[in-house]
Amino acid sequence: MSATILQFPQRHVDGKVWEPWIGEREIARHYGNVSTRTVRRWRLAGMPSRLIGGQRMFRISETERWHAERNRA
């Protein structure tokens, strides 16, 4: 199964660019179909996420920033 990356149109809310929250499976697909277990390990290592409605959710920009900072160290 191949992953499809969806482009979300930029929306502005209160002068800020709105970004969707995505689930664990979607973030795993974003990083080249890594396992959800890998995503959980990254989260425990500090990758930003939020618990929304009982589900762990991520923003791609925040996770990419976290990975970039982690790879610089």
Give pLDDT tens digits for 33-66.
899 999 999 999 999 999 999 999 999 999 999 9
Domain boundaries, the chain: 18-72
pLDDT class for 6, splitting at 50, 70, 90? low
pLDDT class for 19, splitting at 50, 70, 90? confident
**18-72 is classed in which CATH architecture?**
Orthogonal Bundle (1.10)
Distance CA 70, CA 5 (A): 24
Q: How many CB atoms lie within 10 A of CB 58?
A: 24
Distance CA 67, CA 55 (A): 22
Find the mean pLDDT for residues 9-28: 81
CB 10 within 8 A of CB 17: yes
- What pLDDT shows up at residue 27? 95
Kind and range of the H or E run holding 36:
helix 36-44
pTM of this prediction? 0.75
